[in-house]
A and B are shown apart, each in its own frame.
Chain A
Amino acid sequence: MVWYKSWLDTRWRFLIGFAILLVLACGVIVNYSLSASLLPGLANQPVDTSTTAGRVLGELIRIEQTYRGFVWGQWWRQNLLQDATLLAVILGSGGVISNSKGGLFTLSLPASRHEWVATRAATGLGEFFILAMVPSLAIPLLSPLIGQHYSITDVLAHGLCIFVSAAVFYSLAFLLSTVFHDIWRPLLIAIAVACVVGYGEMIFQIDGLFRVMAGRHYFESGSLPWIGLTSSAAVSVALLYGAAMNVARKDF
Chain B
Amino acid sequence: MNDLVAIDIADLHKRYSGGVDALRGLTLRVPTGSIFGFLGKNGAGKTTTIKVLLGMARPTSGDVRVFGLRAADPDASVSIRLRTGFVSEDQDLYDAMTVQDLIRFTAGFYPRWRADLEARYLRSFDLPPGRKVKTLSRGTRTKLALLLALCRSADLLVLDEPMSGLDPAVREEVLQSLVRHVADEGATVFLSSHQLADIDQIADHVAIIDRGHALVCGSLDDLRDRYRRIQIVFDADAPALSFRTPGVIRTHRQGRVLTVLASGAADAVAAEARAADAVSVDIMPLTLKEIFLESVNTSMNAEN
Contacts and interface: CB of A to CB of B under 8 A. Distances in A.
A and B physically associate? yes
Interface of A: 1, 4-5, 8, 101-105, 107-114, 248-249, 251-252
A102 B110 CA distance: 18
Given A107-B54, A109-B109, A114 B81 contact: no
Interface string B67-102: 000000011011101101010100011111100000
Interface of B: 16-17, 51, 54-58, 74-75, 77-79, 81-82, 84, 86, 88, 92-97, 105-106, 108-110
A103 B92 contact: yes
B22 to A, nearest CB: 10
A114 B77 CA distance: 12
Pick the most buried of A101, A111, A249: most chain B CB atoms within 10 A of its CB: A101
Nearest to A104: B92
Pick the most buried of A110, A113, A252: most chain B CB atoms within 10 A of its CB: A110
A251 B59 CA distance: 9
Contact of A251 (B58, B96, B105, B109): B58
A110 B96 contact: no
B78 A110 contact: yes
B95 A107 contact: no
A111 B80 CA distance: 10
A108 B16 CA distance: 20
Contact of A110 (B81, B88, B105): B81
A102 B95 contact: yes
Contacts of A249: 58
Contacts of B86: 104, 108
By Cβ-Cβ distance, the 6 closest A-B pairs, closest first, are A110-B82, A1-B108, A108-B86, A251-B57, A110-B81, A104-B92
Contact of A104 (B78, B82, B88): B88
A70 B74 CA distance: 53
A97 to B, nearest CB: 9
Determine the main DSSP class of B at the interface with A. Answer: loop
Given A105-B88, A108-B88, A5 B78 contact: no
A104 B57 CA distance: 11
A115 to B, nearest CB: 8
Contacts of B92: 101-105
Nearest to A4: B105
Nearest to A97: B56
B50 to A, nearest CB: 10
A91 to B, nearest CB: 18
B109 A5 contact: no
27 contacts: A1-B108, A4-B105, A5-B105, A8-B96, A101-B92, A101-B94, A104-B56, A104-B88, A105-B88, A105-B92, A107-B54, A108-B84, A108-B86, A109-B81, A109-B109, A110-B81, A110-B82, A110-B110, A112-B75, A112-B77, A112-B78, A113-B74, A248-B74, A251-B57, A251-B58, A252-B56, A252-B57
A108 B71 CA distance: 12
Nearest to A113: B74
Pick the most buried of B77, B94, B96, B97: most chain A CB atoms within 10 A of its CB: B94
Nearest to A248: B74
A102 B88 CA distance: 10
Contact of B54 (A1, A4, A103, A108): A108
A197 to B, nearest CB: 31
A251 B94 contact: no
A111 B105 CA distance: 13
A82 B199 CA distance: 59
Contacts of B106: 109
B56 A107 contact: yes
A110 B108 CA distance: 10
Contacts of B78: 110-112
B51 A112 contact: no
Contacts of A4: 105, 108
A29 to B, nearest CB: 37
A108 B92 CA distance: 10
Contacts of A114: 74
B94 A110 contact: no
B93 A105 contact: yes
A251 B88 contact: no
Contacts of A112: 74-75, 77-78
B51 A251 contact: yes
A104 B86 CA distance: 9
Contacts of A5: 105
A107 B88 CA distance: 11
A95 to B, nearest CB: 13
Contacts of A101: 92, 94-95
B109 A107 contact: no
A101 B77 CA distance: 22
A102 B148 CA distance: 14
Given A105-B94, A110-B109, A251-B57, 18 more contacts: A4-B105, A4-B108, A101-B92, A101-B94, A101-B95, A102-B92, A102-B93, A102-B95, A104-B86, A104-B88, A105-B88, A107-B55, A108-B54, A108-B84, A110-B78, A110-B81, A111-B109, A248-B74
Contact of A252 (B51, B81, B109): B51
